[in-house]
């Protein structure tokens, strides 16, 4: 959604894009302000050089222009407020919609599970195949909906954050266990090398779980035919340092600066073989930021990626 410089200069098109009338559109108001400033500077120069014996006139004009500029500035601020409000309402809307979608989705999923269990009637091999497709896709929808809910909570600053002391090491071990069958099916060996005598971390375990889940899922998913994932955990000064290194397909260089953007999915070799909402890394970065940590990565196409994040030790 990048715009060329020329397009950005087309104020009318810009205002139309936001759905705002001209007098409520910041772009147009800025232009008017600019014209007034240049015009009034010229007038003051003209008046100042011609009526040098009447400084009151110059003062009067300056006061008048200042008043006009003040009113314009208020209008600009208002128009920004309107844009911010529209953005907030959009997040609110996403939140309500995703919440409403959850009930029919769980009804659907559980009904499919009941059919698949063979409890109601016997299921043929062929039927089971299609039930699986139904189940997988309803699971995909559920995941997308919960990702959208998290994003809307992040954007409206309503993401619950309940901090407590816990062992990051144990959480990682637990998650590796949960991903065991997925890793096996993807021919991936997951190794974990924590440093010795690590202190406990003070953060929200359910949020940090989301972070590591996303990173581990990506590392396994984008590994290609087979490969290794190595997780390291150590203490660096006043921070925890978590690193996850894979031997996967890597991220193309031109995509690297967009990787944490909402809905972005890299055009790498596996884009069409894997499913994803493009929200995982956006959520991950937001949570790490909220916890007072930093996140980053190095990646080379065909060699692999290394993602890392830090968490402050309190």
Partner 1 sequence: MPKTILFIEDESALQKTFGEILKQEGYEMIPALDGEIGLRLAKDKKPDLILLDLILPKVHGFEVFKKLKEDKDTRDIPVIVLTNLEGLGDVDKAIELGATAYLVKAQYSLEEVVEKIKKALENR
Smallest Cα–Cα separation from 278: which of 288, 268, 290?
268
User: Is 190 a residue that touches partner 1 (CB under 8 A)?
Assistant: no
* Rounded alpha-carbon distances, angstroms, from residue 123 to 86, 127, 128: 50, 6, 6
Q: Rank residues 120 and 275 by Cβ distance to partner 1 and give the closer one.
A: 120
CA distance 211 to 286: 9
* Residue 117 Cβ vs partner 1, minimum distance, rounded to whole Å: 7
Q: Rank residues 95 and 305 by Cβ distance to partner 1 and give the closer one.
A: 95
User: Is 236 a residue that touches partner 1 (CB under 8 A)?
Assistant: no
* Residue 24 Cβ vs partner 1, minimum distance, rounded to whole Å: 36
User: Is 119 a residue that touches partner 1 (CB under 8 A)?
Assistant: yes
CA distance 163 to 145: 25
Q: Segment near partner 1 (CB under 8 A), from 42-50, 140-148, 192-200, 261-269?
A: 140-148
* Residue 251 Cβ vs partner 1, minimum distance, rounded to whole Å: 30
Q: In what order do the strands lie in the sheet with 295-300?
A: 188-194, 227-236, 239-246, 304-312, 295-300
- Inter-residue contact 229 to 246 (CB < 8 Å): yes
* Residue 100 Cβ vs partner 1, minimum distance, rounded to whole Å: 10
Interface residue with partner 1 among 71, 89, 111, 303 (CB under 8 A) is 111
Backbone torsion region of residue 157, taken as left when φ is above 0, otherwise alpha when ψ lies between -120 and 50, otherwise beta: left
> CB-based burial of residue 43 (10 Å sphere; 0-12 exposed, 13-18 middle, 19+ buried)?
middle
Helices (H) and strands (E) in the chain, counts: 9, 7
Q: Rank residues 20 and 212 by Cβ distance to partner 1 and give the closer one.
A: 212
Interface residue with partner 1 among 91, 137, 146, 306 (CB under 8 A) is 146
Binding-site size for partner 1 (CB under 8 A) equals 19
User: Is 160 a residue that touches partner 1 (CB under 8 A)?
Assistant: yes
CA distance 275 to 133: 14
User: Is 99 a residue that touches partner 1 (CB under 8 A)?
Assistant: yes
Q: Segment near partner 1 (CB under 8 A), from 18-26, 114-122, 216-224, 306-314?
A: 114-122
Q: Segment near partner 1 (CB under 8 A), from 86-94, 99-107, 218-226, 300-308?
A: 99-107
User: Is 162 a residue that touches partner 1 (CB under 8 A)?
Assistant: yes
- Inter-residue contact 72 to 80 (CB < 8 Å): no
User: Is 107 a residue that touches partner 1 (CB under 8 A)?
Assistant: yes
Question: Where on the chain is the footprint of partner 1 (CB under 8 A)?
Answer: 99, 102-103, 105-107, 109-111, 113-114, 117, 119-120, 142, 145-146, 160, 162
């Amino acid at each position: 959604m990048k715009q060329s410089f020329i397009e950005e200069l087309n104020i009318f098109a810009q205002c139309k894009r936001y759905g705002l009338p001209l007098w409520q559109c910041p772009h147009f108001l800025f232009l008017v302000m600019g014209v007034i400033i240049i015009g009034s500077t010229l007038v003051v120069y003209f008046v100042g050089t011609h009526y040098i014996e009447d400084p009151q006139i110059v003062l009067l004009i300056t006061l008048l222009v200042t008043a006009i500029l003040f009113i314009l500035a208020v209008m600009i601020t208002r128009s920004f407020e309107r844009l911010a409000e529209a953005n907030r309402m959009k997040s609110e809307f996403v939140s309500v919609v995703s919440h409403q979608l959850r009930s029919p989705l769980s009804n659907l999923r559980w009904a499919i599970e009941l059919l698949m269990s063979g409890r109601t009637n016997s299921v043929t091999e062929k039927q089971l195949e299609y039930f699986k497709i139904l189940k997988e896709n309803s699971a995909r929808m559920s995941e997308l909906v919960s990702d959208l809910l998290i994003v809307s909570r992040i954007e409206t600053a309503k993401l619950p954050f309940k901090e407590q002391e816990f062992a990051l090491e144990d959480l990682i071990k637990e998650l590796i266990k949960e991903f065991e069958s997925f890793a096996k099916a993807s021919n991936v060996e997951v190794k974990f090398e924590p440093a010795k005598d690590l202190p406990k971390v003070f953060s929200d375990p359910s949020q940090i779980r989301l972070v590591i889940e996303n990173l581990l899922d990506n590392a396994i998913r984008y590994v290609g035919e087979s490969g290794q994932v190595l997780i390291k955990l150590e203490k660096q000064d006043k921070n925890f340092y978590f690193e996850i290194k894979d031997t996967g397909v890597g991220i193309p260089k031109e995509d690297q600066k967009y990787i944490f953007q909402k809905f972005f999915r890299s055009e790498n070799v596996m884009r069409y073989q894997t499913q994803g909402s493009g929200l995982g890394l956006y959520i991950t970065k937001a949570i790490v930021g909220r916890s007072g940590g930093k996140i980053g990565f190095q990646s080379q196409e065909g060699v692999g990626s290394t993602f890392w994040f830090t968490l402050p030790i309190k």
